[in-house]
Structure 1
Amino acid sequence: MPLKELAERRNSLHRKSDAQTVLKHALDDVQIGPVAMVSSFGAESVVLLQMIAQINPATPIIFLDTEMLFPETLTYQREVAAYLGLTDVRVITPNRNEVLEQDVDGLLHQANTDACCDLRKTRPLAQALENFGGWITGRKRFQGGQRAELPLFEKDGAKIKINPLAKWSSDDLKAYMTAHNLPRHPLVAQGYPSIGCMPCTSRVSAHEDPRAGRWRDSDKTECGIHFDNGKAVRPGQAA
C-alpha cells in the first residue's frame, strides 16, 4: 500500500482515538513496520515517554545528543529513562569526522543555523532511522507554524511519522504530568518552556509564545529533523 494512503487510512481509523491507543496500534502495525520514538527529553517529552513505558518499555528511543545541549537536558535524559524503566534508549551523536571538517570550533551555528542543525541533527537522525518503517514524535498543533494542521499519521519520505499528541493542548500536557507525578525538566522553572541546543535557546517571558526562545530574532522555526520526501524541512517549507 502506498504510504500516503496508509497514513490517510490510519488517520481515518484513529480520528477519535486517544493518544495511548494511537501509540499502541502504531507500535503493533505490521504495515508500518518497526517503529522508534525520537525524543528530545525536553520540556514536555516525559508525557509521551511515560505512555511508551506503559505500553512497551523496550521500544527504541532515539535521543539526539548534538553535543551542544544544556547539561540539565543530559542529566534529565538519564534520570527520566531510569525512572520510567526505558530499556532501549539510543544516544545518537554527530559524525565525528564531519564535525571536525565542518564545525571544529563549534561556531557553525553563528554563521548558519540550518547547516549546524543538518550536521548535528538531520544527518545523524536519518542514519539512526534507517531500519525503521516509522517514527513517533511529540509535536502538537498548538505549537503553531508548520504544526498547526498536524495529522496523527503522515507520510515522511519512505517512512510513516506518528504524532500521538497532535490534538493535545498545553493544559492537557500539564494535567497529565500532574496526574502521573512525572518529573519536570529543571529548565522549565527557569523560563525555558521549549528547550533545544544551548546556543540557540533563550528564556521566554510570560507574554511570549513558548517557542519564541528558539532561534530568537530569526525566521527559523524548526530544527530540520522533520523531513519532506527525505529532505530536511527548512523554514517556509511544508512539513
Structure 2
Amino acid sequence: MKPAVQPALPDVRWAFGDVAELNSVYADRAADALADVLTSPAFGRVALVSSFGADSAVLLHMAAAIRKDAPVLFVETGWLFPETLRYAEDLSAYLGLTDVRWLRPEQAVLDAKDAKRLRWSYDPDGCCDIRKVQPLDAGLADFDLWISGRKSHQNKARATLTLFERDAARLKLNPLHDWTGAGINAYAATQQLPPHPLVADGYPSIGCSPCTSRVQPGEDPRAGRWRGWDKSECGIHKPSDDSEPVF
C-alpha cells in the first residue's frame, strides 16, 4: 500500500489568518500537525504550555517523542498544590524534557495587588490575571505559536474547540481537542505514564489550591474549578476576535 501523500508546507510562515486552511490541511491528522508544528520552520517559534495537571502527561509524552528540547512553559502561580510542583519536576525528568521554563508572577505586582494573598477569595478573575495570565503573556512574547492540551469534553465552554485556532496575533494548536476522557486514560495506561497524585483523590482537573475542589460523580471534569463562581477559565485562552480574555 502506498503511503498517503502529505500536503506540502508553505515556504512562508503560517499566520493566524490561515486557521481555516490549516484545519482543512490537517483534518483528522492531529498527530501530523503536532509533529510539523514542532519541527517545521513554517510555524515559526513554538512552545508548549502545560499546567502539569491531571491530563498533562499525555501531550507532554507525545511532544517529547518528537522533540525533547521543545520549550515547555509552566506557570507557577504561587498557589499551586505542592503535589503539582513535585509532579512537574518528576514528570519532566521522566520524559527527559530539557527546556521546561517555570514562569512566576512579578513580585512587585503581587505586592501591589495581592499583598495579603486573599484576592482569590473576592476577585478570582483578577487573581488569575496577575498570577497566571500576565506571566504567561510575558513568557509567550517570543513565540509565534503555542500548543495547548485543552479538550472539548472538559466543559461546555470548550465544546467547539478546533485543532488550530487564533490566539490574538498567534496561532494555537490543540492536538487533543477531540480526545475523550477514556482515550486519554487509555493512552496514559498504554504508555505507563505516571499520574498526577491528586487524580486518585478526586481531582480530575487541578489548578490553584484555593480554587480547586473535588469533583463528584456525574459532574464534568472541571466542575471543581472555581466552584460557586460564574467562572470556568483562568483567562489564558483568549477568543479569536481579540476582545477581552475569557475568564
TM class, shorter-chain normalised? over 0.9
Residues 60 and 80 (structure 1 numbering): CA distance in 2 closer, same or farther, change over 3 Å? Answer: same
Question: Does structure 2 conserve the Cα–Cα contact (< 8 Å) formed by 1:44 and 1:173?
Answer: yes
Instruction: Pick the aligned partner of 1:5 from 5, 8, 17.
Output: 17
What is the deviation of 1:2? 7.8
Asked whether 1:105 is paired with 2:110, we answer no
Residue 13 of structure 1 aligns with an amino acid whose one-letter code is: V
Question: Does structure 2 conserve the Cα–Cα contact (< 8 Å) formed by 1:117 and 1:224?
Answer: yes
Q: Which residue of 2 is the match for residue 120 of structure 1? A: 131
Instruction: Pick the aligned partner of 2:193 from 182, 185, 210.
Output: 182
Q: Secondary structure at the match of 2:43?
A: coil
Q: Which runs of 4+ in 1 moved over 6 A?
A: none
What is the deviation of 1:232? 5.2
Q: Which residue of 2 is the match for residue 14 of structure 1? A: 26
User: Which deviates more from structure 2 when the two are superposed, residues 192-201 or residues 219-228?
Assistant: 219-228
Question: Does structure 2 conserve the Cα–Cα contact (< 8 Å) formed by 1:122 and 1:232?
Answer: no
Question: Does structure 1 conserve the Cα–Cα contact (< 8 Å) formed by 2:237 and 2:246?
Answer: no
Question: Does structure 2 conserve the Cα–Cα contact (< 8 Å) formed by 1:225 and 1:232?
Answer: no
Per-residue CA distance 1:110-155 (angstroms, 9 max, x = gap):
1100000000011110110001000000001111322111010011
Q: Which residue of 1 is the match for residue 213 of structure 2? A: 202
Decide which structure has the larger Cα Rg and report it.
2
Per-residue CA distance 1:65-105 (angstroms, 9 max, x = gap):
00000000000000000000000000000011000110011
Aligned partners of 1:9, 1:144: CA distance in 2, in Å?
Answer: 26
Superposed counterparts of 1:60-209, under 5 Å = 60-209=71-220
User: Which deviates more from structure 2 when the two are superposed, residues 53-62 or residues 207-216?
Assistant: 207-216
Asked whether 1:32 is paired with 2:20, we answer no
Aligned partners of 1:166, 1:77: CA distance in 2, in Å?
Answer: 22
Per-residue CA distance 1:211-239 (angstroms, 9 max, x = gap):
1100001110100011235565234xxxx
What is the deviation of 1:186? 0.4
Q: Which residue of 1 is the match for residue 3 of structure 2? A: none
Aligned partners of 2:218, 2:179: CA distance in 1, in Å?
Answer: 21
What is the deviation of 1:4? 4.0
**TM-score normalized by the length of structure 2:** 0.91
What is the deviation of 1:209? 1.5
Residue 245 of structure 2 aligns with an amino acid whose one-letter code is: V
Cα root mean square deviation, aligned:
1.4
Question: Does structure 1 conserve the Cα–Cα contact (< 8 Å) formed by 2:155 and 2:220?
Answer: no
What is the deviation of 1:199? 0.2
Q: Secondary structure at the match of 1:31?
A: helix
Q: Secondary structure at the match of 1:62?
A: strand
Runs (5+) with no aligned partner, structure 2: 1-12
Runs (5+) with no aligned partner, structure 1: none
What is the deviation of 1:31? 3.4
Aligned partners of 1:175, 1:2: CA distance in 2, in Å?
Answer: 33
Question: Does structure 2 conserve the Cα–Cα contact (< 8 Å) formed by 1:224 and 1:232?
Answer: no
